[in-house]
Amino acid sequence: MGVKSIGVDAGSTVVKIVGIDDFGKIALYRMEQADPQIEIQVDRMMDEIKQEYNFKDIPIVATGYGSELIKNAAKRVTEITCHARGAFEYFKKGGTLLDIGGQDSKVIVIAQNGHIVDFIMNDKCAAGTGRFLETSAWRLKIPMEKMGEIALSSDKETPISSTCAVFAESEVISRLAHGEKLEDVIRGLHRSLVKRIAAMVYAIGFTPPLMLSGGVVLNRAIRIMIEEEMGTKALLPEHPQLMGAYGAAFEGLDSA
């Protein structure tokens, strides 16, 4: 069987590498926080993979923020194409994909044949991305992995009206200074992010089922609130961060 194609998603916060076999199953994957010199980092990661799996001349397809820096890539494919392809191949159906990352978010409507019907992307503002929560978590000295559980420990939400991550951080501090409970404020932060994502879905139209990807959806509160906002259950892959790299690997398999 073995590895037949490799996809590299050189994201602004995390580098993801996925290798797939002849049947499109994930045969290997690696994830690391992105270094400033992403080209050197990917070269090192690929050298380690090649030594471990002992292969040569396998197509490498790059996508993501740093895709142009991946010198050994056979080709480069857009993030929209790769995330849509990854979700379609994983779930074997079309629908509406919400990909929520650390620096940008995407909503992609995928037809039942896998073709992209429409998409919308938020890559100019931190609101509606993981950075929206990250800035407040840093200010409050709370580990990011605990934010979701803190949000779910409350049944009350303190509304966060600021749609800018910078202003929201100040609003959080002000709310706490005026006696609001920490868990209520953090739940309100989550709701604010989710409402921004839902607004993107409504802007292009929702086609069920709802599918999720991106590192931010590992946050259980985000998943639960998205389902509440959309009024439907969501499909979640085993490794939601890998969908872009997984789709890129399929693009390589096509040309192998």
Q: Which amino acid is at 68?
A: E
Question: Is residue 176 in some structural domain?
Answer: no
Domain encompassing residue 215: 5-124+196-255
- Which residue has tokens 């932060």? 189
Confidence of residue 55 (pLDDT cuts 50, 70, 90): confident
84-110 pLDDT, tens digit per residue, is 999 999 999 999 999 998 888 999 999
Question: Is residue 185 in some structural domain?
Answer: no
235: CATH: 3.30.420.40
- E strand spans, 56-199: 60-63, 75-76, 95-100, 105-110, 116-122
Question: Is residue 231 in some structural domain?
Answer: yes
Mean pLDDT of the chain, nearest integer = 92
Question: Is residue 137 in some structural domain?
Answer: no
Question: Is residue 72 in some structural domain?
Answer: yes
The CA distances from residue 161 to 99, 127, 135, 171, 190, in Å, are 23, 12, 16, 8, 12
Q: How many structural domains does the chain have?
A: 1
Q: Which residue has the higher pLDDT, 55 or 64?
A: 64
Q: How many angstroms from the chain centroid is the CA of residue 29? A: 16
Residue 219 has pLDDT above 60, yes or no: yes
Q: Which amino acid is at 229?
A: E
Question: Is residue 46 in some structural domain?
Answer: yes
Burial level of 251, CB count in 10 A (0-12/13-18/19+)?
buried
Q: Where is mean pLDDT largest: 11-15, 38-42, 246-250? A: 246-250
Question: Is residue 50 in some structural domain?
Answer: yes
Burial level of 232, CB count in 10 A (0-12/13-18/19+)?
middle
Residue 5 has pLDDT above 90, yes or no: yes
- Structural contact between residues 106 and 83, judged by C-beta atoms closer than 8 angstroms: yes
Mean pLDDT across the stretch 113-129? 83
Confidence of residue 39 (pLDDT cuts 50, 70, 90): very high
